[in-house]
Amino acid sequence: MPAAARGAPPDDRRRDDGRPDPDVRLGQHDRRGARSVSQSQSDGAPSTSNRTPAARAGLSDPNTIVFSEAQLAEVRRLQALYPDTRGALLPVLHMAQETFGYISLEAEEYVATLFDLSPAHVHEVVTFYTLYFRERPGRHVVAVCHNLSCHLAGAPGIVAHLRQRLGIDPGETTDDGRVTFLTVECLCACEAAPMMQVDDRYEMNLTPAKLDQILRGLA
């Protein structure tokens, strides 16, 4: 038996190189509250990959962090596209977020095994980019651009109106889990300022009346 495997729990199977087998369960899913989003990511753009029906409904098993065989095949396909397989890390993290609803520490560990990376390396990537959620977001993500063009075109008023209508500040989620409210940097639609991203779509040339109409459509 390899030295790295001595004393390992029965369900923590190891490969010959001592790393965890990527096809085994990695323990308890992170259960931090869903009512807020870390402030460190509240100023960044939300991931659009977490808007699938399964993620919205919270259908993934909270005790199982593992990809399906089809997903593992897709991981291998993505890795083969790059001279260095680490080039596929970002899309695979998107896949993890879509599957599990957000990127927990357990999900980081699991993805690390797929790339022969340390969990710390994957954690650094997840925390560097603001498009990955480390806590479960609301059913809808409303992200208002507050960069220069949008700011000059009235973004502060848009943010204030959303604060009043939603009853929360940027970086928070409504008590019913319906909306996570963020402010983000440039979304590259300066010609339509002020604007925001709602889930997978852009809403542009915003006014308070248009905001109210958009919010009414978020179930």
Q: For residue 64, what pLDDT is reported?
A: 79
125 in Cβ contact with 23 (< 8 Å): no
Q: Which of 32, 29, 33, 26 is nearest to 9 (CA)?
A: 26
pLDDT tens digits along 181-199: 999 999 999 999 999 999 9
CATH architecture of 140-216: 3-Layer(aba) Sandwich (3.40)
Question: What φ, ψ does residue 135 adopt, rounded to 5°?
Answer: -135, 155
Whether pTM > 0.85 for this model: the answer is: no
**59-128 CATH choice from 2.30.30, 3.30.70, 1.10.10, 1.10.3470:** 1.10.10
63 in Cβ contact with 29 (< 8 Å): yes
Lowest mean pLDDT among 34-43, 84-93, 122-131: 34-43
